[in-house]
Amino acid sequence: MKLNKKFDLTRIIISALLTIALVFIEIFYGETKLGNTTIKLVIILPITLVLYILVSFDLYVKSAKNLAKRDFFNEITLTLVASIAALAVGEFVEGLAVTVFFQIGEKFENYAVNKSRDSIKAIIDLRPDTVTLYNNKIERIVDPFDVQINDLFIVKSGERVALDGVIIEGSSSLDTSSMTGESTPRKCQTGDEIISGVINLGSPLVIKATKEFYNSTMSQMLELVESASSNKAQTEKFITKFARIYTPIVIALAFLVATVVPLIIDYTNPAIWSRYIQAAASMLVISCPCAIVLSIPMAYFVSLGVASKNNILVKGGNYLDNFRKINTVVMDKTGTITKGNFEVSSINPTNDFTSDELLLLVKNAEYYSSHPIALAILKDRQEIDESNLKDYEEISGKGIKTLYKGKTLLVGNSKLMDDFEIAFSKVDTPFTIVYCAYDGKYAGSITIKDEIKETSLQAINNFYKNGVKSTYMLTGDNESIANVIAKEANISSYESNLLPLQKVDALKEIMKSSKNNVCYVGDGINDAACLTTANIGVSMGLAGSDLTIESSDAVIMNDDLNGINKTIKISKSNYTTVMVNLIFAISVKVIVMILNLIPTLPIDSYIMWLAIFADVGVTIICVLNSLRLMTRKY
């Protein structure tokens, strides 16, 4: 395969160099007499025909295959008809040049597409070929598709995690850069959830599979990348239809120029026939839609690749187009604006206790609890000695009572303190407060809250800079918490205490007043309906559920809202590039076409070269312009 590609490239390069040499020979020595004939006929014509066959053979093969599929009108058909017409009127080198430079344009376009595909390749190459099963502590290498839910598998240092799961044994550091873009390794330990696609940097990890391979985070991401090109934008679809209608019209017009116009002007004059046959051939070359047909789909392909390189998987060009039109962003709260997990916000001990003493008391009380608040407090369990705990009792809806070092320890809400007649200071806050009393004394309180992501405020401020007029937060949380989060994140409006179906109704009302340019961002199962309803649905790849990812139009793999800002910029750059390519290509072709058809202009000797520039030259310029999208920073 590599040999064929190398031969193909060598063939084109040599043909191009010989074509350029023939141009100079024809200009300076073409009409030089050589016996009873000229150099043009004796030397240039034979060499041209040999090169023409060498260069054009594969084009004729492709054309024959297209004809067999009833694809009669395309850029290859135009190129071959134009080259034959040029050869017929004695413009041998020009006829050769049409096919040579068309081939160069195609090779250049293929190179550009391959370069842009490299940005997606890094994601495609994530798929592992094997998994080491570890059921009953016996290692067995199997195909990833053979691993079932609840199977154990082991991931050694340097290996990529193949399936989503929970760490059963071991602690290590993970390289998550390929999935989230984070350069800093992430620590993990027993009990942590782990997504496929990350790389284990440390000790071996034993993982219990929670999803089958085809349904894992990595497989879903690969499916999005691989299917993105099939979802074409309206511009791309228009170009495909345009080329099918445009090509036969151009061929018909060229035929009329070559036959009807000479009949009208002076059918007895061979020079008139020669002039307008050449004009028809030039017209075919000028009209070839290569610049549009190649460069515009390529701009979308490159932009999708750039987006994936920035950890944003957009499901197709049609969805990418919609991002530049966004004027309203609606967001879920938990897991989207906030981190989605409880954290200790503040520790407030009384004068009789230190912060460390208060935290240790609360940790001991919560040691046996599986409540999310307890898990937030118990991130570090090393300093807890179970032998100090006795008579553990969980009081429903209030908290925990236990004996710690032989003394009563109470941890819970204000109702628990009231029940045991503990004198305490009630904290007025919308967030969760955990009160603690030890040996009958009030020890203090701990504030637990779901914190805003470090990047959320910056991202929301950037929304406004990128043309977003308003932002909304729709949440099931209470009014007081929603109000605090909205103010901290600089969100325009919010609605609280919403059930999933009420979220959809609220979103529909927002869409009515936003001219249907609304983007909804969410991560939970309850967001799936909103993601489908919105003009653009964006899900979080790490925190997002399977249903959420499937319902969305784009996935942010690192759960950073700034991904939307990057996609808006990519979408706008892509649209500008497409419009510039369209306007430039059509303008040049129209100008050269007009020059070609004016009989009084003394340009007969170089009109075919102008035509070649209007086709191949413009194509290369447009392809280069599309390729520039790869070099931009977002």
Catalytic residue positions, numbered:
332
- In DSSP terms, 338 is beta-bridged to 452
Pairing of strands 554-556, 536-540: parallel
Give 48: exposed, middle or buried? Use CB within 10 Å, 0-12, 13-18, 19+. Answer: buried
Pairing of strands 407-412, 399-404: antiparallel
Indicate if the alpha-carbon torsion angle 58, 60, 66, 69 is positive or negative.
Answer: negative
**Sheet with strand 199-200: strands edge to edge:** 186-188, 172-175, 199-200
| Helix/strand number for the chain, H first, E second | 22, 24
CA atoms within 13 A on the CB side of 333: 30
Torsion of Cα atoms, 255 then 256 then 258 then 260, to 10°: 140
The answer to whether the CB of 253 falls within 8 A of the CB of 283 is yes
Q: What is the DSSP string of 285-354?
A: HHH-THHHHHHHHHHHHHHHHHHHHTTEEES-HHHHHHHTT--EEEEESTTTTEEEEEEEEEEEE-TTS-
Helices within 394-494 (DSSP H only): 414-419, 456-465, 479-489
| Strand, coil or helix: 32 | coil
- In DSSP terms, 555 is beta-bridged to 313, 539
**Sheet with strand 131-133: strands edge to edge:** 140-142, 131-133, 152-155, 205-209, 165-169, 193-194
Which of 217, 179, 406, 410 minimizes the C-alpha distance to 309? 179
Which of 272, 285, 287 minimizes the C-alpha distance to 89? 272
> How far are the Cα atoms of 276, 414, 437, 458, 536 from residue 433, in angstroms, in the given order?
89, 8, 13, 28, 38
